[in-house]
Amino acid sequence: MNTKIVGILIAAVFVTSAFATFAGNTPGYDRVETAPGGQASATTYTVRQTFEQPVVFSAQGYAVVQMAGTRSDLRSGYPTLPYTRETLTFPLGTAITDVEVSVSGVHILSLPGKISPAPQPVPLNGEPASYIVEEGPVYTSHQPYPREWVQWHTGAGIRDGQRVTLVTVHVYPARYLPDSNQLEYVDSAEVVVTYQPPEQPLLQADAYDLLIVTADAFRSDVEPLVEHKESYGMRTLLATTSEVYAASDGRDQAEKLKYYIRDSIEDYGIKYVLLVGGLTSLISGQEWHVPVRYVYNGEGSEPRYLSDLYFADIYNADGSFASWDTNDDGVYGGWAFGLGKDLIDGYPDVYVGRLACRNTKEVQAVVEKIMEYESGTDPSWFKRVTLVGGDTFNDISAHNYLEGEVATQKTAEYLEDFDPVKLWWSEGNLQLSKVMDALNQGSGFVHFSGHGSPGMWMGKDFTDDPHGEYILGMEVYHMSFLKNDGKYPVWVIGGCHNSMFNATLMDSTLGCIKSLTGTPTWYWMPIPECFGWWPVKVPHGGAIATLGCTGLGYGTIGDSDGDGIPDCIQYLLGYLETRFFELYGQEGVDVLGDMWGTAISDYNDLFPPMQDKIDLKTVQEWVLLGDPSLKIGGYSS
């Protein structure tokens, strides 16, 4: 039985066109819009929920708690508890002044053991993986966990095509009492959100849809793409980096670009931003045709990584500029010892993609592919999905899921109208030659789920070696031999560092040398460009766009909440990847940037960006190397 909404009480006095909507994992929410008129004043929403009794059972020496209509909170080291999630949307700039909760029907239940702590995320770095469960400080606390029945966070983002202020409320119908090893649960909860709408709408412009920013040297090669976009009704604005830097203030070029994007939203109403330009050299250096932002949400092995989400997250919940440097120390996205913790909204306010072109030859090739693709695709090849995966982790101590196959199978289920081509370890066909053959046939989508590096993607075989034997799926130097001319898929690449588009021949060669001394490195072979960008830039073959990680990606092992669904598709990178395909296959979202941005926003609703470093990194590093305004399948098929 699902959680039921037994009442929604609204007391409101709004400015004209002020609104609030509900969305969440609980059925029964409808959009609620107030009548216009009046003066802006404090407004409240009251939401009541009722819950069924919890089900408790023992597993692996711990108590597992489940409640119908909820999902589980899997924060590493914290008790795995059920919660419901509801997201409310308001006009951008709305001030959320208070969120209060009252509960009724409080019960106490003795537990057969401590509540199971959530396991640690597992890096997709190819190292031996273990199902590690450690009890955090909560287990020795004298306070209930969580201390409040409700937790909430705010942001600014896009919902139903509108830029809005978001309030996501997590209601916990059960709390853990570690002192007495008991569960405190309730029959119902009432949440009251008090907010102040803005006196005037912050954004009203609607002159352009797409902003393309490119290097001056690439302008003439990009102009045909502008004409193409305009011919399909995509109102397009083109700016060069010199124009951007002259028009905007900022501490560096990246911040000037971000301010320019903000101004283009406010002056023109743009929804998509295409950045055309990567590094200026294949050999070495860190000079960029179009600037990038390194963020420092780091750890010992990887103190920084690239994040194009920086250019998409323009506003905070109150409508102010999202600097990603809230302590003004010149370090962006800092969350590490000695750097403090920059407060990051994390929700895209514009959909951003990058063509990481390093020269005019690459620009010309990619522009030609985009124009060809959007002019129409043939269902005879487009209605295929190529699925490449195997056993990502040796998790015999858990459920021994074949994580790569679980994830790609979920993709096949979401793309139910597509013919799946499964290249799986369990099928015996996870082989380089088979992958090349399948890609040469053409398909609408490709989903790799496994391990990676900047130069290659791999699966694993644990049959004879508990550490796993690598199975090469593809490396960058194979991509020039792809023969799928005119049959370009969107690739989603599950693995570490596959989309690290700052790779150079010098850095990768030095990385390989360092690896011989035992120094941590992500490079396993010398490469001039990364795995995620290479198939996009290669002419007459490869991919139309890719999505992947610029840094170390993370996955999960087992089924820690006992709901019968492998954790590898419910959390971290596996959630993002499968949610991306769900948006297209089940919800009809057919523009590439909308799929990328909505998947990230939905992830943030479930896993608040400022609550966990790994959750924040998961959305920061997931980059779209392609045109965010791309019409999936083209405009005429």
The predicted model gives 284-298 an average pLDDT of: 95
CB-CB contact of 484 with 440 (8 Å): yes
Residue 442 domain flag: yes
Average pLDDT taken over every residue of the chain: 90
Mind listing the pLDDT tens digit for each residue in 68-88?
A: 999 999 899 999 999 999 999
Q: 473: domain CATH number?
A: 3.40.50.1460
Please check whether residue 347 lies inside any domain of the structure.
no
Q: Which of 35-39, 462-466, 525-529 has the lowest mean pLDDT?
A: 35-39
Residue 543 has pLDDT above 90, yes or no: yes
Question: How far from the centroid of its chain's Cα atoms is residue 539's Cα?
Answer: 28
CATH assignment of the domain containing 144: 2.60.40.3800
Q: What CATH number is associated with residue 251?
A: 3.40.50.10390
- CA–CA dist 171, 187 (Å, integer): 12
pLDDT in tens, 129-173: 677 888 999 999 999 999 999 999 999 999 999 999 999 999 999
Q: Which residues pair with 189 in a beta bridge?
A: 49, 103
pLDDT for 39 equals 39
Same domain flag for 256 and 402: no
Q: Do 63 and 33 share a structural domain?
A: yes
Q: What six digits make up the tokens of 179?
A: 């002192």
Dmax (CA) for the chain in angstroms is: 73
pLDDT value of residue 60: 84
Q: Give percent of the chain with pLDDT exceeding 90.
A: 80
Residue 393's pLDDT band (boundaries 50, 70, 90)? confident
pLDDT value, residue 3:
33
324 and 408 housed in the same domain: no
Would the pLDDT of 636 be above 80?
no
Phi-psi region of 234 (alpha: psi -120 to 50; beta: other; left: phi over 0): beta
Which residue type occupies 359? Answer: N
Within-domain flag for 415: yes
Helix (H) or strand (E) holding 58: strand 55-59
pLDDT at 467: 75
pLDDT single digits (tens) 395-453? 765 678 999 999 999 999 999 999 999 999 999 999 999 999 999 999 999 999 999 99
Question: Average pLDDT for residues 209-229, to the nearest whole number?
Answer: 98
**3-state DSSP of 113-179:** CCECEECCCEECCCCCCCCCCCCCHHHHCCCCECCCCEEEEEEEEEECCEEEEEEEEEECCEEEECC
Q: Which phi and psi (to 5°) does residue 472 adopt?
A: -70, 120
Residues in the chain: 637
Between the alpha carbon of residue 311 and those of residues 68, 314, 315, 316, 580, the distances in Å are 39, 7, 10, 13, 20
> 291 or 26: which carries more pLDDT confidence?
291
pLDDT-based confidence at residue 613 (cuts at 50, 70, 90):
very high
User: Is residue 389 pLDDT above 90, yes or no?
Assistant: yes
Q: Let me know whether 440 and 568 are in one domain.
A: yes
Task: Name which of 253-267, 269-283, 467-481 the model is least confident about.
Answer: 467-481
Would 359 be classed as within a structural domain? no
pLDDT at 43 over 90: no
* Count of domains forming the chain: 3
Q: Which of 104, 143, 116 is nearest to 57 (CA)?
A: 116
- pLDDT of 396: 63
pLDDT higher than threshold 50 for residue 8: no
pLDDT at 521 over 90: no
Domain boundaries, position 396? 376-501+528-588
Same domain, 37 and 111: yes
Query: Which of 572, 588, 604 is at the close of a domain?
Result: 588
Contact indicator for 366, 537 with CB cutoff of 8 Å: yes
**Residue 619: inside a domain:** no
627 DSSP assignment: -
**Radius of gyration for the alpha carbons in the chain, expressed in angstroms and rounded:** 24
Q: What pLDDT is stored for residue 597 in this prediction?
A: 98
187 and 241 co-located in one domain: no
Residues near 364 by Cβ (< 8 Å), separated by ≥ 6? 221
Residue where a domain terminates, one of 341, 362, 392: 341
Backbone φ and ψ for 634, nearest 5 degrees, come out as: 85, 175
User: In Å, how far are 182, 263, 305, 449 from 269, measured between CA atoms?
Assistant: 53, 9, 30, 36
Task: Calculate mean pLDDT across residues 26-53.
Answer: 57
Burial of 372 (0-12, 13-18, 19+ CB in 10 A): middle
Is pLDDT above 90 for 596? yes
Q: Which residue has the tokens 């593809």?
A: 474
Is 456 found in the same domain as 307?
Answer: no
Q: Answer for the pair 595, 411: CB distance below 8 angstroms, yes or no.
A: no
Residues 88 and 231 in one domain: no
How far CA 387 is from CA of 115, 155, 390, 410, in Å, comes to 37, 34, 10, 10
* pLDDT interval class at 338 (50, 70, 90): confident
C-alpha to C-alpha distance for 633 and 591, rounded to whole angstroms: 9
Q: Residue 225 in contact with residue 367, Cβ under 8 Å?
A: yes
Q: What is the pLDDT of residue 42?
A: 64
Is 299 contained in some domain?
Answer: yes
Q: How confident is the model at residue 517 (pLDDT cuts 50, 70, 90)?
A: confident
Any domain includes 595: no
Spell out where 524-621 has E strands: 545-549, 554-555
Residue range 165-208, pLDDT digits in tens: 999 999 999 999 999 999 999 999 999 999 999 988 899 999 99
C-alpha distances in Å from residue 372, one per residue of 359, 377, 462, 486, 541: 20, 9, 42, 7, 12
For residue 119, what pLDDT is reported? Answer: 87
Do 300 and 250 fall into the same domain? yes
